[in-house]
Amino acid sequence: MIELDDIKVRIRDTAGRYLAGDSVHPWFSTELSQARVFDYELDHVEATLALIAKAEGRVLEIVPVDPKEVLERCDCCQKMIAAVMAFFDGESFLCCGCYHHSATQHHRASESHV
């Protein structure tokens, strides 16, 4: 059984767009892969949406993430990727593109010190 504090959710507007970006620069996208995933309990999703509705009149809905859908967010570009496609470099989870870019930068930096 899933505990309430284990539920991950996305937030969607009435046009079907998902909340993306970060807390400083939020935006909405039709691309599910760009949607932010929130922890329902830890991120106080219900209370936050109630405040937004009261302050802005904007209606947003909570969309539960299927527990079978295991995604990671690239710590560099914030893209959502399947966990099996994520690379961990010892500090960050990275998508394929960011991982290869990081590896190239690291390789060039080590060559310049030779």
The 10s digit of each residue's pLDDT in 18-39 is 999 888 899 999 998 889 988 8
Residue among 50, 49, 38 at smallest CA distance from 6: 38
If residue 22 lies in a helix (H) or strand (E), which one and from where to where?
A: none
The 10s digit of each residue's pLDDT in 82-107 is 777 888 888 888 998 999 888 777 65
Q: Is the pTM of this model over 0.75?
A: no
The per-residue pLDDT for 2 is: 46
Burial class (CB in 10 A: 0-12, 13-18, 19+), 65: middle
Neighbours of 97 (CB within 10 A): 13
